[in-house]
Amino acid sequence: MEKNKKFLLVGLFVLLVLIADQVIKIWVKNNYGPYSPSEPILGDWFVLNYTENPGMAFGTTLGGGLVGKLALSIFRILAIGGIIYYIIKQIKEGVKTEYLVALSFVLAGATGNLIDSALYDFIFTFDPCIPFNQLEGSGNFMSCTSFGVEHQVEARNTGFLLGNVVDMFQFDAEWPEGTPWLGGRQIFPAIWNLADGAITVGILMVVIRQKRYFNK
């Protein structure tokens, strides 16, 4: 495949994943609340369970508070820049198209979660009464009215690169009771989004298919 076609392929692939990721997040954020019950997607083992987190993939953080959040966002921006540079370099070197698809998954996923933290505080109304928006130790005290009673809560900081990441998918399945050390525990308790899934798929493709990608 020609280099220009590979650039176009990567761009279109990233754009499609980003659009799908953001459509799902905005729909969930507009239709569910912090106390909405989980809903089955595929039987009882794969459910929609809306939550928000201040971190990146699967709720990973770099500490709490303003400094940790900014450090995480800056790390994400640097990572995205590095991936873009690497993809451009790989296209020029004529790597296999499948490898570019794997890299596109990772780039799209990282960018999708960055969009949440960068823009969502400007798109959606901030409510300090929502548990997702409360952060102990932030020092940002705000008034909150619950059941007709006004009280102070410590809310997270808001603004560019400080927003939460919207998550909604969860595997609600447990290890069999007889499984040593794991019996009765959830197989994968993290709540995630399409962007997280894209990152995971891209990394797994590289790990599983590395001999094909790096046959030199």
In this prediction, residue 215 carries a pLDDT of 67
Q: What is the pLDDT of residues 189-211, one digit of tens each?
A: 889 999 999 999 999 999 998 88
Return the pLDDT at 65: 67
- Residue spans of the chain under pLDDT 50: 56, 61-63
For the four alpha carbons of 13, 21, 126 and 192, in that order, the dihedral sign comes to negative
Q: Global pTM?
A: 0.89
Whether residue 127 lies in the annotated active site: no
167 an active-site residue?
Answer: yes
Count of domains observed in the chain: 1
Domain ranges, residue 195: 3-213
Residue among 21, 116, 121, 167 flagged as catalytic: 167
Active-site residue among 21, 116, 121, 196?
A: 196
State how far Cα 203 lies from the chain centre: 15
Amino acid 70: pLDDT = 85
The pLDDT value recorded for residue 77 is 95
Q: Could you write out the three-class secondary structure of the chain? A: CCHHHHHHHHHHHHHHHHHHHHHHHHHHHHHCCCCCCCEEEECCCEEEEEEEECCCHHHCCCCCHHHHHHHHHHHHHHHHHHHHHHHHHHHHCCCCHHHHHHHHHHHHHHHHHHHHHHHHHHHCCCCCCCHHHECCCCCCEEEEEECCEEEEEEECCCCCCCCCEEEEEEECCECCCCCCCCCCCECCCCCECHHHHHHHHHHHHHHHCHHHHCCC
